[in-house]
Amino acid sequence: MPPSRYSVIYVQNVTDVDDPLLERADRDGEDWRELARRETQRYREDMEALRVLPPTHLIGAVEALPVIERFNARMADRGALYNVDEDVYFAKSADPGFGSLSGPGTACGYGPAEMAELAAQRGGDPDRPGKKDPLDVLVWRAERPGEPAWNSRFGRGRPGWHVECAAIATEYLGSSFDIQAGGCDLVFPHHEMSASHTRVALAPADHPFARVYVHAGMVSYHGEKMSKSLGNLVFVSRLLADGVDPMAIRMALLAHHYRSDWEWTDAVLGDAQARLARWRAALARAEAAAPESAAPESGALEAVTPGTPPAAAAEMVLSGVRARMRDDLDAPGALAVVDHWADTLIAGPPTRITPGDLVGACLIRATADALLGISL
């Protein structure tokens, strides 16, 4: 295959110290560092099982403390920070562009009252006395008894969530990068605040923090959005321990457009398992019907006579999957393209597969692997 035209640098941050983690560690009588380490490792193993490509840089907040302090210092030098008691806040008034992602005139169109309500729901403190504006956010939390804290020019404490993300992103990707992604509940306040922090810290930069945002829909379970606070989570590791094929889990995720809200149910997983079995059965039928001399070894395309054209149906699958994924990552549409091929092959009369058809079967495997991450 020709080399990719793009070199992708993917950065992901890990909030390995925050209130929910400390509360859980205290509840369970566990060292918060060990809890953070274990959960991060479980996440990495789950993503590997699902064949999700790992980030170029996976950076924890604790590891990035020097980076965050330098970033905070930049905002302080521009007069954007102030104290409430010993805590340090970012003044949104320091950023004339605040609201450009979620405020009036955007797709969200949030006004100040809606922003304050969302901030209260999503970890903010709009009603705290002493703040200059309800929407100002914490960038450095002063040390509390029994909580971890680190030295900084702002006193002993730990960083706020939004500044953590902004500092790590700009450290590893530069002042402007192509795509920032996350759940749709991150549009405000998290992504809005991260971009606002960066505009101030790196002023007078005249380019955007992220050029494109990709926001995923919410996944619910038993009628409510999955969340750590509710504890209604379905863990990949638990499904794997129960014997679920990781490719079926991935298939279940791909069956829903990334921007749509949906609910995880046993039926969703069952449909994905049936679909995976159908695809594999179609490939097995094609390969089992081949003359032994023409059968590719281990599914390798090179095992068939060079220059043998793949079956037209497989070429149509490849072009169809590419077209659907180019259209705003329409994964459900891409799955439907492969469904049509599998259903047609299974429903058709038994035939003797030609070398060209065998290349087609291998092309289907390669398409599912390279474009959908599904190992057949």
Model confidence pLDDT, tens digit, residues 273-314:
999 999 999 999 888 765 554 444 444 333 334 444 557 889
For the chain, what percent of residues have pLDDT higher than 90? 80
Angle at 24 between CA 21 and CA 25, to 5 degrees: 85
Average pLDDT over the chain, rounded to an integer: 90
Neighbours of 243 (CB within 10 A): 6
Task: Specify the pLDDT at position 4.
Answer: 62
pLDDT at 54: 96
Phi, psi of 213 (to 5 degrees): -115, 140
pLDDT of 295 reads 45
Residue 277: partners with Cβ closer than 8 Å, 6 or more residues away: none
Q: In degrees rounded to 5, what are phi and psi of residue 210?
A: -120, 135
Q: Do residues 216 and 253 make contact, with C-beta atoms less than 8 angstroms apart?
A: no
In this prediction, residue 309 carries a pLDDT of 53
The CA dihedral of 346, 348, 354, 355, to the nearest 10 degrees, is: -30
**Number of C-beta neighbours around residue 28 at 10 A:** 9
What pLDDT score does 128 carry? Answer: 97
pLDDT tens track for 38-84 = 999 999 999 999 999 999 999 999 999 999 999 999 999 999 999 99
Q: What sign does the CA torsion over 208, 114, 17, 84 have?
A: positive
141 in Cβ contact with 168 (< 8 Å): no
Q: Distance between CA 228 and CA 248 in Å, rounded?
A: 24
Q: What pLDDT is recorded for position 311?
A: 78
Give the span between the Cα atoms of 367 and 330, in whole angstroms. 15
Judged by average pLDDT, the poorest of 229-233, 258-262, 360-364 is 229-233
159, β-bridge pairs: 140
Q: What residue type is assigned to position 281 of the chain?
A: A
- Residues sharing a CB contact under 8 Å with residue 186, sequence separation 6 or more, in sequence order: 215
What band does 351 get if pLDDT is binned at 50, 70 and 90?
A: low
Quick one: pLDDT at residue 310? 57
In the predicted structure, residue 207 carries a pLDDT above the cut 60: yes
pLDDT score of 361 = 87
Six-digit token pair at 347? 């429903």
pLDDT of residue 3: 57
At 239, which amino acid appears? Answer: L
pLDDT given for residue 354 in this prediction: 61
For the chain, list the domains and their CATH numbers: 11-216 (3.40.50.620), 247-372 (1.10.730)
Of 141-150, 207-216, 332-341, 356-365, the one with minimum mean pLDDT is: 356-365
pTM for the structure as a whole: 0.89
Q: Quote the pLDDT of residue 301.
A: 36
Which of 134-143, 213-222, 303-312, 365-374 is the least confident region?
A: 303-312
Residue 161 has φ and ψ, to the nearest 5°, of -70, -50
Nearest to 259 by CA among 174, 187, 172: 187
- Give the SS3 label for residue 214: strand
CA distance 17 to 233: 20
- 372 within 8 A of 330, measured Cβ to Cβ: no
Least confident of 138-142, 320-324, 359-363: 359-363
Count of C-beta atoms within a 10 Å radius of residue 142: 18
